[in-house]
Homo-oligomer: A and B are copies of this chain.
């Protein structure tokens, strides 16, 4: 079991926060009501170490977005963070923008980029016609390139051809992502000015979409909409350790028995851990594998038999509807200075 060849399987993760240690100096955090935000800046050194590109990574964490109050709070933060990201990327108010919505609009789990992009107000044709725009508007175009399975063309080839023709000053690309953690699924928005790395999305955008390729700033907005069975199993085994530890520590406590074993109680509490022996007793050798080894093993079990399903919550339709409205509105209010075009 220990002989598993670690090199054969590259751990897939799209969220840089998955790679950062707790309390790293690379990360700055803050909260706004029940929304929390992580700002990570990778210089060349730290970028090499983590295998991620140098640049800015912002992650916004939230709860159920179909709740009206959550929606408003996340909207406020997303507008703020997009404005910051534009500023950090040295994009001026008069720079022209191309919005790119990635993904397959026929797939609920993959349509997020397309639907969000369609909610952004475009202005380039009006500028070309009249020679000016109303105050507050930026010259903006929008491209929905489709996915390779339905176009037969590399998505990045379509984008680079149109970018070359239209010559926007920067690109803002939106995509659905895969997550390596249950608790981020549909509950985080990541913004980065490092582009989208190859193979990271859930769609078919296989070639890199980044400033290295297009020679203009590329800002990417991503939301994890799917998770694989490997991650679900691996995360659950970790939660199980916390669960056992909590139950052991509180087995004689009448008070604690009455407290629902909610997330607050132990999920983020580092005191709830098992010793190696306890782990062996409860979860055997499996329990003492590192996260990486555990994922490799589970993947080895599930993939050959066809059950490493990539899944999405059954409420995906309603959540994606809200998220695409939210992202569209936030982009309108940060690149332009207006409300969303959908009343």
Chain A residues packing against B (C-beta within 8 Å): 1, 68, 71, 106-110, 118, 122-126, 140-144, 146, 148-154, 157-158, 160-162, 164-166, 182-183, 185, 202, 225-227, 229, 232-233, 235-237, 239-240, 243-244, 247, 260-263, 267, 279-287, 297-298, 300-302, 304-307, 309-318, 322, 325, 343
Contact = CB atoms under 8 A, between A and B. Distances in A.
Contact of A312 (B140, B154, B311): B311
A263 B304 contact: yes
A236 B202 contact: no
Contacts of A165: 157-158, 160-161
B202 A122 contact: no
A4 B122 CA distance: 40
Contact of A283 (B118, B162, B284): B284
A15 B239 CA distance: 29
B185 A309 contact: yes
Most B-side CB within 10 Å, residue of A124, A152, A279, A283: A152
Contact of A281 (B143, B166, B285, B307): B285
Given A236-B298, A298-B236, A314-B110, A150 B157 contact: no
A218 B166 CA distance: 23
A122 B151 contact: yes
User: Which A-B residue pairs are the 4 nearest by beta carbons?
Assistant: A124-B152, A122-B152, A284-B284, A311-B311
A153 B182 contact: no
A152 B164 contact: no
A124 B153 contact: yes
B233 A232 contact: yes
A306 B63 CA distance: 11
Most B-side CB within 10 Å, residue of A317, A322, A325: A317
B71 A314 contact: no
Given A108-B317, A161-B164, 20 more contacts: A107-B315, A108-B316, A118-B150, A125-B151, A142-B151, A143-B151, A158-B165, A161-B162, A183-B307, A185-B309, A233-B233, A235-B307, A236-B301, A239-B302, A240-B297, A261-B305, A262-B305, A263-B304, A281-B285, A282-B285
Contacts of A297: 240
A240 to B, nearest CB: 5
Contacts of A157: 162, 165-166
